[in-house]
Amino acid sequence: MTATTRIGLVGYGSGGRIFHAPLLASADGVEFAGVVTRSAERREELARAHPEVPAYDSIADLAAAGAEAVTISTPAATHAALAREAIGLGLAVVVDKPFALDAATAREVATLAADRGVPLTVYQNRRYDADLLTLRRLISEGALGEVRRFESRFERWAPERQPPAAGGGTLIDFGAHLVDQAHLLFGPVTRVYAELRADGELDSDAFVALHHASGVESHLWGSWRQAAPGPRFRVTGTTGTYIVDGIDGQEALLKAGRSPSALGERWGVEPEHAWGRLYRGATGAPVRSERGRWDSFYPAFAAAVRGEGPLPVDPWDSVRAMEVLDAARRSAATGETVTLGKPEAERAGAL
């Protein structure tokens, strides 16, 4: 009999309902143990989509019913407090991105989990995008030579819409993914320059330039105000450039009500027209995309809770990403480049 981990979900707004519940319900080694929401509307939605999954009023009630772990999928400003509550109850925790609103808070939560011996991870699902997995393969194969510049974008055209308040603004909402991917690929960041634009209470357009200790330059864009979005990736090396135009298709599948359990091996498979192209001059050749694997996050987390494998995302990676985003905020405010020293987590001996 396959071992299972009982994982509950805190929050059933669009994030919990669309991006977590279907993956929890589909995951091998996971029992979807319940949802914490007091909203009658959300409870009705839960009953329609997952009639076998109970609703609870609080994290404590979920824990008392036998949950071993929880995912926090609520507005960004509440992530840290709810994570502390869950850790205090001895529950393993997945915190949706952004981990917190600033690095100091993220560091405090990560330290608390380490001190209590409670597994903690951050939902950096974009590590499992088809395009990023393909890029990692190309880099490992040496197909680009030595990478010199990494350009990455999440750009949308929504001139009448304000950035979702739940995300905390474009810099940390989109930036949590953009910086995490850049750090995963090219290592620690030593310098940060940023520009932010806002036409309301929250920034709606962000540009961040990173210099990595490895020598790679990362240029990152996030926007709700871009009428002509640029390539999702343009990665330039000494022997080739890899370009991907569109965004990974797993988000669209979930928004359309599809799930890994329904699609099986077809989940995350990119159609040929969505493949990136490898250029060595004026023309480019298509590169078959790796299969997107958002569906692998929860099985990996469940195994880690059972002591059978590593966490899918080290929380200290997300602390370092928040340090970069804090520096980006300072740079945008002053117009100056911000130099980063050794990561706080390393100075504290936590890694």
DSSP conformation letters of 221-244: EEESB-SS---SEEEEESS-EEEE
Q: Name the pLDDT band for 346 (thresholds 50, 70, 90).
A: very low
Mean of the pLDDT values across residues 301-323? 98
Least confident range from 24-38, 123-137, 154-168, 196-210: namely 154-168
Q: Are 89 and 66 in contact (CB under 8 A)?
A: no
What is the pLDDT, as a whole number, of residue 167? 77
Q: Name the pLDDT band for 2 (thresholds 50, 70, 90).
A: confident
pTM of the model: 0.94
What digits encode the pLDDT tens for the residues 21-46?
999 999 999 999 999 999 999 999 99
Which secondary structure element, helix H or strand E, spans residue 123, and what is its range? strand 120-123
Query: Quick one: which of 30, 90, 98 has its CA closest to 318?
Result: 98
What is the pLDDT, as a whole number, of residue 31? 98
Maximal C-alpha separation, the chain: 62
Q: Name the pLDDT band for 351 (thresholds 50, 70, 90).
A: very low
pLDDT at residue 349 is higher than 70: no
Mean of the pLDDT values across residues 226-233? 97
Identify the architecture of domain 126-293 in CATH.
Answer: 2-Layer Sandwich (3.30)
Alpha helices per DSSP H over the chain: 14, 21-26, 40-49, 59-64, 79-88, 103-116, 130-141, 170-186, 250-255, 260-263, 297-305, 315-334, 344-347
| Coil, helix or strand at residue 335 | coil
Query: Quick one: which of 60, 50, 61, 59 has its CA closest to 24?
Result: 50
What is the pLDDT, as a whole number, of residue 163? 84
* Cis peptide upstream of residue 159 (ω within 30 degrees of 0): no
In words, the CATH class of domain 5-125+299-312 is alpha beta
Q: Are 260 and 298 in contact (CB under 8 A)?
A: no
Distance CA(258)–CA(22), nearest Å, equals: 8
What is the pLDDT, as a whole number, of residue 313? 98
What digits encode the pLDDT tens for the residues 257-268?
999 999 999 999
Mean of the pLDDT values across residues 185-200? 95
What is the pLDDT, as a whole number, of residue 161? 83
Boundaries of every domain in the chain: 5-125+299-312, 126-293
pLDDT at residue 117 is higher than 80: yes
Mean of the pLDDT values across residues 87-95? 98
Q: Name the pLDDT band for 348 (thresholds 50, 70, 90).
A: very low
Q: In the structure encoding, which two tokens stand for residue 171, read together? A: 């810099």
pLDDT at residue 347 is higher than 90: no
